[in-house]
Amino acid sequence: MTLLLSAVCMALMCVAVSAHAAAGDISGGKDYPGIGRFGGSVMTGYGVKDFDATTLQAAPFVNGKPIDQRRVEGQITRIAYRTASGASILEVARNFEDQLAKDGFRPLLTCDASACGGIAFSRALDKLPSPAMVVDGFKYRYYAGQKTVDGKSSHATVLVSENNGRVFAQLIVAVTGTVEDKMMDAAAMSKGLGEKGHVPLYGIHFDTNKATIKAESRPTLDEMAKLLSRQPKLNVLIVGHTDNQGGYDHNMVLSRERAEAVALALARDFGIAPARMRAAGVGYLAPVGSNATEEGRALDRRVELVEP
């Protein structure tokens, strides 16, 4: 009986279902509901973004290049684990895959390193940085899956690899959605100028690689106009910022042209005196996020109001 109970316990430890933090887990992390973790694992990385993007592969690479690469935007959860010694890549991966199947996900792609596309494939994957997630380009297994519930689509990827005898596993779940409107109103702009002398605005949108303002920018332009109308003595600098994609000279010109387009719209459509606004562009010279990530580049693409 003792041996039987021991065998049952060992089997249960190898199921990727757990909902409790383990000793050694990073602070603030928690298992994904309905998926959990491989028994005996320690959480090494954790992050949730209300709106972000992740890239998944729905087919193996051909000649070192992706043939079905998909970008998913919405709420993104990234979790990484280091498993107890003795587990294999396949054992850990299969537990996650089985649990995802129980949760309603259907596989888009399941492959091992050589079948996926080797090192080139592993390098293209969305990964938490080392030491949270460690990937050997010759020893890994990858899964991508999708499910739809009540019209809302979710995608999940699992990446399992081995390094120095320890198996690392990463789960990414992306629930498709739209970005929350976090546009600043005139009062918030005024407060920001008063406290810091500048206000970053993310509600001004442009056509890709152009200075053409999109229609969805109207609410932010309305609030900028309210600010300037309510404070007739306020003069501002309108400063365009870009990420680092496309080169220095191009971005310096593009950022200036975008700032000029905003000033023109405020003068033409809202009657703000042009003399109260000066447009400038600084390209990617004043980043607020890392240009090494899409999240950082999104933060860098902005228009700022600056009080001279």
- SS3 for 80? strand
**Does 175 score more than 80 pLDDT?**
yes
Phi/psi at 57 (nearest 5 deg)?
A: -105, 125
Residues β-bridged to residue 218 = none
Q: Are strands 277-281 and 198-201 parallel, antiparallel or unpaired?
A: unpaired
Token reading at 107: 């596989």
**Does 18 score more than 60 pLDDT?**
no
Residues β-bridged to residue 201 = 303
Confidence of residue 34 (pLDDT cuts 50, 70, 90): very high
Query: What proportion of the chain, given as a percentage, has pLDDT over 90?
Result: 78
Tell me how far apart the alpha carbons of residues 103 and 88 are, in angstroms, rounded to a whole number: 23
Number of Cβ within 10 Å of residue 271's Cβ equals 10
Token reading at 69: 């690469």
Global pTM value: 0.59
Tell me how far apart the alpha carbons of residues 262 and 246 are, in angstroms, rounded to a whole number: 22
Give the domain ranges of the chain: 16-176, 186-306
Q: What is the mean pLDDT of residues 211-222?
A: 94
Q: How many residues does the chain have?
A: 308
Tell me how far apart the alpha carbons of residues 34 and 41 are, in angstroms, rounded to a whole number: 16
CATH assignment of 186-306, among 3.40.50.720, 3.40.50.2300, 3.30.1330.60, 3.40.50.1220: 3.30.1330.60
Q: What is the mean pLDDT of residues 259-283?
A: 98
The DSSP letter of residue 37 is: -
The pLDDT value given to residue 293: 75
Phi/psi at 152 (nearest 5 deg)?
A: -105, 125
